[in-house]
Amino acid sequence: MNADKRLEPEAFLDLVPQRQKGHLKLYIGAAAGVGKTYKMLEEAHELRDRGVDVVLGLIETHNRYETAARIGDLEIIPRRKIEYRGVTLEEMDLDAILARKPEVVIVDELAHTNVPGARHAKRYQDVEEIIASGINAISALNIQHIESLNPLMKRVTGIDIRETVPDSLLARAEQIVDIDVSVEALRERLREGKIYPPAQVEQALKNFFKPSNLGSLRELALREVARSLERQRHDQESLKREGGRRTNVIDRIMVGVSSNAADTGQLLRKASRIAGQLNAEWFAVHVETPSESIRNIGTSDFVKLLDNINLASSLGAETVWLKSDNVVKAMIDFARDKGVSKIIVGRTHQPRWRRLLKGDVPARLLADARDVDVEVVATEEREEPR
């Protein structure tokens, strides 16, 4: 890819007057310190020089001199002060941005969790409201904050990433730009104190910023941008073929959401990645049986089920709740009715006696769904002792 072309603002600028809803552009990096904020500020200056009304909704400089200096005379929306447990904290002032109504607003650190008392719990939800109001937004995040990559990030980095952005928001972005820096260049920036304070440098070099981690994260960031570009190319070709009309989705996949599967979150994230690779519509389907009705399942299982349904929705799935005394038949009937081409289920982690008593859903799907592909995917959950 030609990095210089990707960073020019004209392509995003061309999108500005086309629709009532705002457009979204995202900068993605492998880690902190690659230069996402600096590039957004550069683009803000270029847009303003072209006559675009652009403001800084929120910028985090992290005391980096070059980044702070690049703000220059750009218009900044003052932060909102929020009292929390006797302490005054600052957040992006969403209401002030909506009232100001610029053409483009720059919002840093998309995955940030807002202070209690803000209108939304997450900054990405602020951006969703900004876009819905007709304002175009440019934002940034690191690759480890993409929701569907969460289990993979834990394996790669050994860190449980708690702040995530739903894939459904990324799918709405008109442009995703990778800010790529070599592993050694990024580690050198860290040594020079340009990313973290000196006291944290050695620890970071040995852990998150070790070469193997950064190499993997860099590759994932490049793949994510390539996937986005492929999706855009596919959409543009489809629109061109159909004279500007969007065609119906060809591929549809379905994933089963169980009320007692602790690994359903991993399964949903894998399904989301598969749907993205196929550019497919996907459904997350829960089948409520009489023995697992809301009245019969425990409170903790019900809460987990609702959490997984909410997760599926945030990942871009259409969530479906069916009732049947035959889980497999209900899933197959739904798949045929909706034209689903692939059913994705996780391996059963129940003890053998329970599978013999209630039936092994993946095995039965493989046997009965002869006109639909069934993919049984692995998760990290280990089978209980028999």
266-289, pLDDT tens digit by residue? Answer: 888 888 888 877 778 899 999 888
pTM score, whole prediction = 0.68
Using the predicted structure, report yes or no on whether residue 19 has a pLDDT greater than 90. no
Percent of the chain with pLDDT over 70: 83
Using the predicted structure, report yes or no on whether residue 193 has a pLDDT greater than 50. yes
The residue type at 69: A
CA distance 144 to 213: 11
Using the predicted structure, report yes or no on whether residue 93 has a pLDDT greater than 90. yes
CA distance 36 to 91: 20
Using the predicted structure, report yes or no on whether residue 18 has a pLDDT greater than 60. no
213 contact partners, CB below 8 Å, separation of at least 6: 156, 157, 207
At 83, is the secondary structure helix, strand, or coil?
Answer: strand
Compute CA 122 distance to the chain's CA centroid, rounded to the nearest angstrom. Answer: 13
Q: Give the CA angle between residues 178, 180, 234 to the nearest 5°.
A: 30
Burial call 91-111: b when 16+ CB within 10 Å, e when fewer:
bbbbeebbeeebbbbbbbbbb
Q: What is the CA radius of gyration of the chain?
A: 23
Regarding predicted confidence, which is higher, 335 or 5?
A: 335
Mean residue pLDDT across the chain: 84
Complete domains list, the chain, with CATH: 3-241 (3.40.50.300), 252-377 (3.40.50.620)
Percent of the chain with pLDDT over 90: 45
Using the predicted structure, report yes or no on whether residue 230 has a pLDDT greater than 70. no
